[in-house]
Structure 1
């Protein structure tokens, strides 16, 4: 027997490992993920719709004695946003006719003060310390500010807000009033420190804001509310004359 030929080793060509077959996601998991995405999109859409709707709602109206709320937005082109501004205030005691003063406060003593942006005039009864008529006017002059009407609007809004939180008074009525300038409100109140009732009108005409207050002694018999109409009518009559004087300034 001859020598056996050694067995040559078999050389297999090298090939890299084959990638594993991609696993299949369970159909149930895919369905859950799709539902979650759809739910998130629906929530976002709902929030956008609600937010947009709220931005167009009118500001709620304040009620006497309730919490202060932002003033209602003025629509573009509303009275007061256009027109000629007032250049100067009339004489402090020159806005209400003598006959009107005599009916409100007979034989009144007069006291006044004035500068370029604020005037006050007070008519006091010589027979009663509780009876008086006061006129106060604020002017936002175009020479002092680039936005006189907007500044007057801001001051008016501040007065309206403060009326809801006034200390030492009891508010009987507090309401907006149409037909007096660009915007106005009337306020009837009783003074908790004095036996008086006060009817007050605050109004804005373009870049000026004025307040007329009429005070008299509270009735000794019966509720103080009984003088509401008379006091507010007196203050409103004087306010109309102030408005006419300012409109011609």
Structure 2
């Protein structure tokens, strides 16, 4: 029996742990990142375009001759270039022609009242036949409000609404009428407290609202409506005189 060869120890060389294999990114995450990048690029481009457009709008316009003009700036509520406002009212009893007054109220006495924004003139008959004429003008001055025309429109609309529910009168006709100022309506009514009839015209011209009321005794015989046309024609003639006077103020 021979000698056994001694067993030699086996030395295994040391090797560090292998790094794990890199994981794969999901395709969905890659798509989301790409879409976000595209959106960011689009937003930046839009901002640049908008800022460039504002700079172009702010730049002064040039006439065909090449000279620069600043852009037109119109304050909010101010009248347009063709909408000339009225700055002051004429004298209270100076708006109706003498001949018109004589035909409406012969040999009349008059009484007037005025301030910077409201004028009234009242003509009363002195004879046996009752006749009465009142002219009122209300101004919305551009020095008192930034929207004089709009304020006058609001007052006119309020008067139109009140005419539909007026107490102590019986409305015979109430209708809008063109060709008198910028807008107007005519109103024929009877006074339930007195035997009188009234023809009234309310009109607006730019920033002024005028009201003309002509009254006379109701017919003793026959319906009061018989005087409708005559009373309204008288009030309309007076209103046209007032509009003419306002056009020169």
TM-score (norm 2): 0.67
**Which 5+ residue runs of structure 2 have no aligned equivalent?**
1-78
Per the alignment, residue 108 of structure 2 pairs with 108
SS at match of 1:94: coil
Taking the aligned partners of 1:194 and 1:137, their CA distance within structure 2 comes to: 26
Deviation, structure 1 residue 138 = 0.2
Per the alignment, residue 153 of structure 2 pairs with 153
Taking the aligned partners of 2:224 and 2:206, their CA distance within structure 1 comes to: 35
Deviation, structure 1 residue 199 = 0.3
Taking the aligned partners of 1:212 and 1:161, their CA distance within structure 2 comes to: 17
Taking the aligned partners of 1:211 and 1:81, their CA distance within structure 2 comes to: 27
User: 8 Å contact 1:125–1:131 — kept in the other structure?
Assistant: yes
What are the Cα deviations for residues 120-162 of structure 1, in whole angstroms up to 9, with x where unaligned? 0000001258411110000000000000000000000000000
Q: Quick one: structure 1 residues 186 and 220, their matched pair in 2 at CA, closer, same or farther if it must change by over 3 Å? A: same
What are the Cα deviations for residues 73-96 of structure 1, in whole angstroms up to 9, with x where unaligned? xxxxxx999511000000000000
What are the Cα deviations for residues 202-246 of structure 1, in whole angstroms up to 9, with x where unaligned? 000000000011000000000000000000000000000001111
SS at match of 1:232: helix
Q: Quick one: structure 1 residues 80 and 89, their matched pair in 2 at CA, closer, same or farther if it must change by over 3 Å? A: farther
Taking the aligned partners of 1:170 and 1:112, their CA distance within structure 2 comes to: 28
SS at match of 2:91: coil
**RMSD across aligned C-alpha pairs, in angstroms?**
1.6
Q: Quick one: structure 1 residues 155 and 129, their matched pair in 2 at CA, closer, same or farther if it must change by over 3 Å? A: farther
**Which 5+ residue runs of structure 1 have no aligned equivalent?**
1-78
Per the alignment, residue 182 of structure 1 pairs with 182
What pairs with 1:159-178 in structure 2 (closer than 5 Å)?
159-178=159-178
Asked whether 1:209 is paired with 2:209, we answer yes
Count of matched residue pairs: 171
After the TM superposition, which parts of structure 1 deviate over 3 Å for at least 4 consecutive aligned residues?
Answer: 79-82
SS at match of 1:111: strand
Taking the aligned partners of 1:80 and 1:128, their CA distance within structure 2 comes to: 51
SS at match of 1:246: helix
TM-score (norm 1): 0.67
Per the alignment, residue 198 of structure 2 pairs with 198
